[in-house]
Amino acid sequence: MEKKKGFFDKDSTKSVLSSLVAILFGLLFGLIIMFIASPTQALTGFGIMLTGGFQKGTTSIGQVLYQAIPIMMTGLSIAFAYKCGEFNIGVPGQYLVGSFTAVFIALKATFIPNSLLWIVCILGAGLAGAIWALIPGILKAYRNVNVVISGIMCNYIGMLLVIQGVKASIYNPSSAQSYPVSATKAIPSFGLDKIFPKSNINFGIVVAVGLCIIAWVIMNKTTFGYELKACGFNKEAARYAGMNEKKCIIAAVAIAGFFAGVGGAIAYLSGTGKTIPITEALPDEGFNGIPIALLGFSNPIGCIFAALFIAYIKVGGNYMQSLDIAIEVIDIIVASIIYFSSFSLFVKLMINNWRAKKKKGGNTA
């Protein structure tokens, strides 16, 4: 009898180990960079970075959870699409469109009670992200346009549309950006502010983790998720089995866009005064989803832990600045981890191919 799979199967366990090795080598490389930049304070700064998530107790832990939310959602977006055979590089644009939609609803929909407003904003942002993701999805399904190319184009189109939307509807002329969402209209904390005092944590972390779990259930426990993965793995075989390839492509990219849009909503509904700038720059959170998906081996549950880890070292890096060590060191460490993750994936594929050839040779003999 076949054993039931949990969150991680045998192959995923190997991926976990490869990600841990990548993290270790990335941290060691970062330590070397810190020795080059500041030899006398490198070890002290490295220690602060590794313990920064607990530097101020529950307050620091709350900040880790808060910073993990948007990149958890963008990482989930990329991971979900990748599991379905598509690389959703259009996450930054979907994130921006979702952010604008959430802020616009929060500022303009005054007829909705504040107790329900944040829910409407999140759903509206997710829907906006899904609709924006439909463009590359439909182009791929009906015209076989590469999702990477159309996704990149939609990023910049979405960015410019959001800038124009801000200027036309929610522009604050005194600060050249959008108006912020007030704390009364923000996502409530539901007691999390008592558990993690003096932090910016809110119920958004529960929403983000819940969506990751739902995504895992969809991918692994439903017929719909099986069809999505089957089409991503082998479109010809899936088509031969009677699956609707076009529907699967469009659905996979749209769901991924929904996750990205929700991430944008949660980020701007935090009640911290965060505003949408009108500068022509794509949000870092969109691109930071790539290492999250990579470290999380494109598993929705893995994205939770990957986002928490990246947020943890970033919070530690903020405390590290007290030693006059540049915050860019943290970016170098994250980039190193991504590199070693890619390298470990390459080594894993080589080993699997070698084992497959050896097994085939043994069977032939």
199 lies in some domain: yes
Which amino acid belongs to residue 44? T
278 lies in some domain: yes
260 lies in some domain: yes
Look at residue 64 and tell me whether its pLDDT is greater than 60: yes
Structure confidence by residue, pLDDT tens digits, 117-133: 999 999 999 999 999 99
Q: Give the end-to-end CA distance of the chain in Å, rounded to a whole number.
A: 29
Look at residue 346 and tell me whether its pLDDT is greater than 70: no
Spatial distance between the Cα atoms of 146 and 7, rounded to a whole number of angstroms? 31
Task: Using pLDDT thresholds of 50, 70 and 90, give the confidence band for residue 224.
Answer: very high
Task: Using pLDDT thresholds of 50, 70 and 90, give the confidence band for residue 343.
Answer: low
5 lies in some domain: no
89 Cβ neighbours under 8 A, 6+ residues apart? 147, 148, 151, 152, 155
Number of domains in the chain: 1
9 lies in some domain: no
68 lies in some domain: yes
61 lies in some domain: yes
6 lies in some domain: no
- Specify the pLDDT at position 348: 63
Structure confidence by residue, pLDDT tens digits, 259-272: 999 999 999 999 88
Tell me the whole-structure pTM to 2 decimals.
0.89
Domain extent at residue 221: 19-30+42-345
**3-class DSSP state of 255:** helix
Least confident of 97-106, 144-153, 233-242, 333-342: 333-342
